[in-house]
């Protein structure tokens, strides 16, 4: 339903509902209502504004590609309702030990040969123990030596651990806020939303780039989505990389049969992220394997300029690499 209060003229496509938000100064804080107003804009106006913002900050025909590897799978004590790696749920995901450094390096070499420029490593922990962190820092050093950007997602960090990751040469630390703070305990109860923010603050203080985004399809409302985008945009500075995930309902998890988010609502979220975080990489993340080529193209137009370029996203499936080659060729996109 179109809830705009003004009709945009052909020459001023942003002058509809949300026009105040759409012309907001980059250094101003975003309110939830202002982000929600972006969602309420006529779709064509919203896409125009988002694409205009994207062109002002990035080459619109370039897309960054990252590979993702689960370096320690399953057995996580947390109760994230979407995650097949939680030890609390009966899923097909087995419990595996931390990978050997040489095996991770081998996978990183393969990823680089295929064209990825960033290598992300994820471990199913509440947070790393010191001995585990020593192994991960060695992985970071050796992957970094290959000429790849490095990223890890290891859960919540203790004091001093971010500094050790920085010393190892880590470029990005991923720690998603997942959803709006007010909705968070509907999805996760074993830790608080504020715990996530504490880790993000430690990462930023250590001089590591922040990768933080969220998941759509957890049962949240549009207001919750707008609040999540506003929170990310209001970080000082906003995350350097913002993954937007479309929930993959994993068998055995509480959200296995969650209602899917409307495709246009997902695209609106990509656009809202681009407008509110103009200089951040916006990654089209999980769920891309069930998106049509047309939907992906709309997301790229709305400001997404990063993807996971690998066969698997930790335990979820991803698009076949050849499908990405075909789509990039059709759209005239250049991988970076």
Catalytically active residues are 76, 80, 83, 120, 151, 211, 283
What angle is formed at CA 218 by the lines to CA 84 and CA 291, rounded to 5 degrees?
80
- Per the CB < 8 A criterion, the answer to whether 212 and 176 are in contact is yes
Count Cα atoms within 13 angstroms, Cβ side, for 157: 25
**Residue 260, token pair as written in the block:** 């899917």
Backbone angles phi, psi at 63, to 5 degrees: -130, 125
| C-alpha span between 250 and 74 (Å, rounded) | 14
Contact 315, 93 (CB under 8 A): yes
Residue labelled with tokens 């509902």: 17
CA 73 to the chain's CA centroid? 19
Cα-flanking dihedrals φ and ψ of residue 119, to 5°? -120, 120
Q: Which residue has the tokens 């205009």?
A: 52
Where in 54-211 does DSSP place strands (E)? 62-72, 118-123, 149-153, 172-174, 209-211
């Amino acid at each position: 339903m179109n809830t705009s209060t003004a009709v945009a003229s052909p020459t001023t496509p942003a002058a509809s509902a949300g026009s105040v938000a759409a012309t907001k100064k980059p250094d101003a804080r975003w309110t939830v209502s202002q982000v929600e107003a972006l969602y309420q804009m006529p779709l064509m106006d919203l896409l125009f504004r988002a694409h205009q913002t994207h062109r002002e900050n990035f080459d619109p025909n370039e897309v960054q590609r990252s590979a993702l590897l689960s370096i320690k799978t399953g057995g996580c004590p947390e109760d994230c309702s979407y995650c097949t790696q939680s030890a609390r749920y009966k899923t097909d995901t087995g419990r595996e030990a931390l990978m050997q450094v040489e095996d991770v390096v081998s996978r990183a070499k393969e990823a680089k040969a295929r064209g990825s420029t960033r290598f992300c490593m994820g471990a199913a922990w509440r947070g790393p123990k010191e001995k585990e962190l020593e192994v991960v820092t060695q992985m970071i050093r050796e992957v970094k030596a290959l000429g790849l950007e490095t990223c890890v997602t290891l859960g919540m960090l203790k004091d001093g651990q971010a500094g050790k990751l920085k010393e190892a040469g880590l470029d990005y630390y991923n720690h998603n806020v997942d959803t709006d703070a007010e909705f968070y305990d509907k999805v996760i109860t074993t830790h608080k939303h504020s715990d996530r923010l504490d880790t993000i603050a430690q990462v930023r203080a250590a001089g590591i780039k922040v990768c933080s985004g969220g998941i759509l399809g957890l049962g949240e409302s549009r207001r919750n989505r707008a609040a999540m985008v506003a929170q990310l945009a209001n970080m000082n500075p906003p995350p350097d990389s913002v993954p937007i995930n479309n929930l993959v309902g994993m068998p055995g998890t509480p959200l296995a049969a969650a209602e899917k988010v409307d495709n246009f609502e997902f695209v609106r979220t990509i656009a809202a992220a681009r407008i509110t975080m103009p200089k951040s990489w916006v990654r089209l993340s999980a769920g891309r394997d069930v998106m049509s080529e047309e939907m992906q193209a709309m997301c790229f137009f709305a400001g997404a300029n990063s993807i996971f370029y690998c066969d698997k996203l930790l335990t979820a499936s991803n698009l076949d690499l050849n499908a990405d080659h075909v789509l990039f060729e059709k759209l005239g996109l250049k991988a970076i």
